[in-house]
Amino acid sequence: MIKKEMIAMLLAGGQGSRLGVLTSKVAKPAVAFGGKYRIIDFPLSNCINSGVDTVGVLTQYQPLRLNTHIGIGIPWDLDRNIGGVTVLPPYEKSTNSEWYTGTANAIYQNLEYMESFNPEYILILSGDHIYKMDYEVMLDFHKANNAEVTIAVMPVPMEEASRFGIMITDENKKIVDFEEKPAQPRSNLASMGIYIFNWKTLKEALITNAEQPSLDFGKHVIPYCHEKGCPLYAYEFNGYWKDVGTLSSYWEANMELIDIVPEFNLYEEYWKIYTKSEIQPPQYVAADSVVERSIIGEGTEIYGKVYNSVIGCGVTIGKNTVVKDSIIMNHTVIGDNSELYKAIVAEDVQIGNQVRLGYGDEVPNDTAPHIYNQGIVTVGEKSVIPDGITVGKNAVVFGETSAEDYQDGKLLPSGKTLIKAGE
């Protein structure tokens, strides 16, 4: 008989549109992070480190890279005879076929998957946060309180609380009320989007609310459980937790890794983060290059100067090129004598010689100022930037560009958007 005490359901289907061109071809959980990782590595590694060996990954938006990355789960030791990692895309049914229309709807559509493991508890995770957390401790808390639903929360500064879903608890951490993005927050405990449900409670709630359009945990399932009188508890988490949902928070979270002793330490032995290593060779740093305050992935060759940056695997940085305050993802090639300031360059990008990124005045982006801001230049994956181009701040380049696409054949001013990719 198959029996798993707790299985995890990892929501990895969202686009993450606030990451702009970074997620135009990949789902947010598959976006590279910290040199060699992808965002989904963090919850997956947490699962296996917490002893959760059965994980269903719900995919929908652009799943190719995510699927290739997860494979059969070898990097996380999730290749199991029973359980392990299973990718769960939406599928056609004899009646009522639909995409995943909401977080809870996606889980609802996979009731059979969960049922097959005969679980006691279901752990709901999302694939877009950077943190290390022992879910087993959270489960102990859940059991100790005889809770039916436990929501992981973390204290945030009171002035930021109005950006989050806020839980109001009594002295025993029992949730008495909650409010979504309140103007006048009554508490500073923000929901982290991590839930443990008793299987029976979850199943009943999902089936009862099945007809609700865009069934969502925060909007429908949790309120339903609360109204029904289920004991809801808040599990307070005080470690490092970072939402990397926006370009600026993504950039900041990467930059925090290069501190001398970063708050989020990847070098600890006892809670390793695992990832699929695409390539294995060591990195080469040439004779007249400089590397300072940076982290660099495998197989990268550096001939230029790199300061305060996070560089992925298999990257080439040419002679006399200066890379500063930037994030360069896997397999990107940058030519000679170029300069990059505060740039996020996605995977497989080719940047020519004498290219300058992040040059000029701070001008708000003309198409999506809420996405592209803070002076960050963003270059989408597989883009090509020819020799001699200058790109300003808050600008976006995506696609195989040639000199004609630029002002006078050499300039993309600050705040401009150049998207040339198909579709």
Partner 1 sequence: MRAIGIILAGGNNHKMKELSQKRAVCAMPIAGSYRSIDFTLSNMSNSHIQKVAVLTQYNARSLNEHLNSSKWWDFGRKQGGLEVRTPVVTADNSNWYRGTADAIYQNINFLKNSHEPYVVIASGDCVYKLDFGKLLEYHIEKQADITVVCTELPEDVPCERFGTVRMNENYKIEEFEEKPLQAKGHTISCGIYVIRRRLLIEMIEKCAQEDRYDFVRDILVRYKDIKKIVGYKIKDYWRNISTVQDYFETNMDFLKPEVRDYFFKQYPDIYSKVDDLPPAKYNVGSNVRNSLISSGCIVNGTVENSIVFKKSYIGNNTVIKNSIILNDVYIGDNVYIENCIVESHDTIRANTRYVGEDGIRIVVERNDRYIL
Binding stretches for partner 1 (CB under 8 A): 34-36, 74-75, 258, 260-261, 266-267, 272-275, 277, 279-299, 301, 306, 310-311
Give CA separation, 375 vs 56, 184, 415, in Å.
Answer: 38, 31, 9
Quick one: 153 or 244, whose CB is closer to partner 1?
244
Beta carbon of residue 272, minimum distance to partner 1 (angstroms, whole number): 5
Beta carbon of residue 240, minimum distance to partner 1 (angstroms, whole number): 15
Beta carbon of residue 174, minimum distance to partner 1 (angstroms, whole number): 39
Separation between Cα atoms, residue 377 and residue 398, nearest integer Å: 11
Separation between Cα atoms, residue 365 and residue 367, nearest integer Å: 6
Helix (H) or strand (E) holding 67: helix 64-70
Quick one: 196 or 334, whose CB is closer to partner 1?
334
Separation between Cα atoms, residue 357 and residue 351, nearest integer Å: 10
* Structure-token pair, residue 158: 């009171």
Separation between Cα atoms, residue 224 and residue 208, nearest integer Å: 9
Beta carbon of residue 331, minimum distance to partner 1 (angstroms, whole number): 11
Largest CA distance in the chain: 70
- How many other β-carbons are positioned within 10 Å of the β-carbon of residue 144? 9
Beta carbon of residue 302, minimum distance to partner 1 (angstroms, whole number): 9
Quick one: 295 or 363, whose CB is closer to partner 1?
295
Quick one: 207 or 290, whose CB is closer to partner 1?
290
Beta carbon of residue 41, minimum distance to partner 1 (angstroms, whole number): 10
Beta carbon of residue 260, minimum distance to partner 1 (angstroms, whole number): 6
Where do we find the tokens 């002893």? Answer: 51
* Structure-token pair, residue 298: 């495998």
Quick one: 156 or 291, whose CB is closer to partner 1?
291
Residue 253, helix vs strand vs coil: helix
DSSP-derived secondary structure letter, 23: G
Quick one: 34 or 413, whose CB is closer to partner 1?
34
Question: Which residues are CB-contacts of 287 (< 8 A; sequence separation ≥ 6)?
Answer: none
Residues across the chain: 423
Quick one: 330 or 417, whose CB is closer to partner 1?
330
